[in-house]
Structure 1
Amino acid sequence: MAAVTNTQSFWEHLDVLRTAIVKIVAVAVVFGIAAFLFKEELFAVVLAPKDDGFVTYRLLDHMAAWAGSAVEPFSVRLINTGLAQQFVIHMKTALCAGVLCASPILYQLFRFVSPALYDNERRYVVRMVGGGYAMFGLEVLVSYFMIFPLTFRFLGTYQVSGEVDNLITLDSYISTLVMMCLAMGIVFEIPILSWLFAKLGFLSADFMRRYRKHAIVIILVLAAIITPTSDVFTLSLVALPMWILYEVGILIIDKTCNK
């Protein structure tokens, strides 16, 4: 059954869209201002992975102790090299936190387009948007608690010589963290996009299996592009989840689209 017909004019539709966008921006700004005001709490979370007391490192220490070995403690000092850079980074970080916290308000855009959808189309869109948002949230947690800490610990403590100290800039730290979260956020949408393309008839599980080797090559190329560094360790941390998600996409298509 089709959705209820909307008799609004083009300009009325445009006004509804503008209202939805204004609400989204307003909520993001409010959350961004709140994050800016709570500077200590914000950067306590953002800078936590740089300390060896972070939960991921403690877990690694426990695993190493269980295996009968020891992990050396590490210390990485962050520095600032620009006069206004800390203030600018504070604003950018608060804005990113505001957008992340306000992201659920994006349902306003769905409310705008949903009247034009048929019931079956609406169900697909709800599943895709809901699943995509859940996968993005999962990616943020995976990137924050696993991929970024392991990358930072490896690269932040790597030395070609004991005479060369690592002094990581705050800008480099924040940029790497944000870039990895955003890049992996796109990567984690692979199962959702696979399901959608399969539903639309553009993709099949057999096709994905047939071209698995080609996909692995593409995954390695994409991982090399989206990683902020050029080391094999970070490349592997990014490429492995991409390959796993590719396989998950095949399983999802088998379970939901081949019945």
Structure 2
Amino acid sequence: MPLDQHWDEQEEEGGGEMTFIEHLEELRWHIIRALAAIIIFTVLAFVFKTELWNGVILAPSRPDFWTYRKLCEFAEVVSAPDLCVKKIDFILINREMTGQFMMAITYSFFIGLSLAFPYAFWELWRFIRPGLRDVEVSASRGAVFWVTFLFFCGVLFGYYVVSPLAINFLADFKIDESIENQVDISSYVSLLVMMVLACGLTFQLPMIIFVLSQVGVMTPKFMREYRKHAFIVILIIAAIITPSPDIFSQLLVTAPLLLLYEISIFVSARVNNKREKARLASEIAEENEMRFRNNQ
């Protein structure tokens, strides 16, 4: 039985709290359902491995990738031919007999995990939600949607912006022209997955600030005061994410991160205003209650 249904039934019966064992039992079923979703998506990813590898995973390694084509179009507009990517100078190879098979299984799991993330998070939220107060539930309304939305925005940003820039730069970087880049498939895919998942997690910044603001750890005043420091940190993060030294690549990564920071300030300000209004309303209610008691 789902925890929220069990919780409602207990309230209708006159209260009472779930035991620790009952909590563990409910948590177990939520975890089982989340794992089942991950396994289903993993199996589907393995079944359609040819389409996924050719059309998604290996796409950034080819010059006809969407991002490279748009860079070439932009290069024509601004008369900067160096921005156009016409060749990705490396060859993908496999050095192990079981390499491709294990790669297909491993990264089918990563794809399954990414696709099942919304449902898995929803299952976790269903377990946590009944233990929250009404005010907390109201304040966190839409959490599943926003976490999912931000995660996939980060994944798309990592896949279409960060990864192609990193792959192109690393493929073109040579200490000597006589050295040919023969890249193991595991190295290429590891870089791609790391970039994509890192961006997916980085885009959770507004939700992290939302939670910290709810508990009073973060305030918009603090974030505004340290905006310059945050800008330097964002530049460092952008430099780490994109090894390319050109300013255009840096700006492509820095701009969305700065936007996320500003959105986080706005989120923190809204949470802070609601908390302040709730505090004032509580104080007024206490004063009115005291006056009523004194009049009696």
TM-score (norm. length: structure 1): 0.86
Instruction: Return 244-253 or 170-179, whichever deviates more.
Output: 244-253
CA drift of 1:243 comes to 3.5
1:128 and 1:196 in contact (8 A); partners too: no
CA drift of 1:238 comes to 5.1
Find the aligned partners of 2:23 and 2:258 in 1 and give their Cα distance.
42
Find the aligned partners of 2:159 and 2:243 in 1 and give their Cα distance.
20
Q: Secondary structure at the match of 1:257?
A: helix
1:74 and 1:157 in contact (8 A); partners too: no
**Residue 62 of structure 1 is aligned with which of 59, 73, 94?**
73
Find the aligned partners of 1:38 and 1:130 in 2 and give their Cα distance.
27
1:13 aligns to 2:23 (yes or no): yes
Paired letter, 2:94: N
Q: Which residue of 1 aligns with 2:3?
A: none
Matches within 5 A, 1:45-84: 45-70=56-81, 71-75=84-88, 76-84=90-98
Count how many residue pairs are aligned between Structure 1 and Structure 2: 256
CA drift of 1:237 comes to 5.9
**Residue 99 of structure 1 is aligned with which of 86, 98, 113?**
113
- Distance verdict in 2 for CA 1:50–1:8, change over 3 Å: same
Q: Secondary structure at the match of 2:183?
A: strand
2:42 and 2:109 in contact (8 A); partners too: yes
CA-based RMSD? 2.6
Q: Secondary structure at the match of 1:202?
A: coil
Find the aligned partners of 2:68 and 2:243 in 1 and give their Cα distance.
23
- Distance verdict in 2 for CA 1:92–1:235, change over 3 Å: farther
Find the aligned partners of 1:252 and 1:17 in 2 and give their Cα distance.
30
Q: Which residue of 1 aligns with 2:289?
A: none
- Distance verdict in 2 for CA 1:255–1:108, change over 3 Å: closer
Find the aligned partners of 1:242 and 1:63 in 2 and give their Cα distance.
22
Q: Which residue of 1 aligns with 2:283?
A: none
- Distance verdict in 2 for CA 1:121–1:254, change over 3 Å: closer
CA drift of 1:64 comes to 1.3
Q: Which residue of 1 aligns with 2:44?
A: 34
- Distance verdict in 2 for CA 1:6–1:30, change over 3 Å: farther
Find the aligned partners of 1:193 and 1:10 in 2 and give their Cα distance.
28
CA drift of 1:224 comes to 6.3
Structure with more relative contact order (C-alpha pairs < 8 Å, separation 6 or more) = 1
Paired letter, 2:51: E
Q: Secondary structure at the match of 1:168?
A: strand
Find the aligned partners of 2:52 and 2:211 in 1 and give their Cα distance.
36
Instruction: Return 101-110 or 133-142, whichever deviates more.
Output: 101-110
CA drift of 1:13 comes to 2.2
- Distance verdict in 2 for CA 1:26–1:201, change over 3 Å: same
Q: Secondary structure at the match of 1:16?
A: helix
- Distance verdict in 2 for CA 1:245–1:30, change over 3 Å: same
Q: Secondary structure at the match of 2:211?
A: helix
**Structure 1, unaligned stretches of length 5 or more?**
none
CA drift of 1:123 comes to 2.6
Paired letter, 1:115: P
- Distance verdict in 2 for CA 1:190–1:86, change over 3 Å: same
Instruction: Return 59-68 or 134-143, whichever deviates more.
Output: 59-68
- Distance verdict in 2 for CA 1:162–1:256, change over 3 Å: same
Q: Which residue of 1 aligns with 2:165?
A: 150
Find the aligned partners of 2:197 and 2:76 in 1 and give their Cα distance.
34
**Residue 88 of structure 1 is aligned with which of 82, 87, 102?**
102
Q: Which residue of 2 aligns with 1:161?
A: 176
- Distance verdict in 2 for CA 1:6–1:159, change over 3 Å: farther
Q: Which residue of 1 aligns with 2:197?
A: 182
Paired letter, 2:206: P
1:143 and 1:181 in contact (8 A); partners too: yes
Name the % identity.
Answer: 34
Instruction: Return 194-203 or 97-106, whichever deviates more.
Output: 194-203
1:43 aligns to 2:53 (yes or no): yes
Find the aligned partners of 1:14 and 1:196 in 2 and give their Cα distance.
25
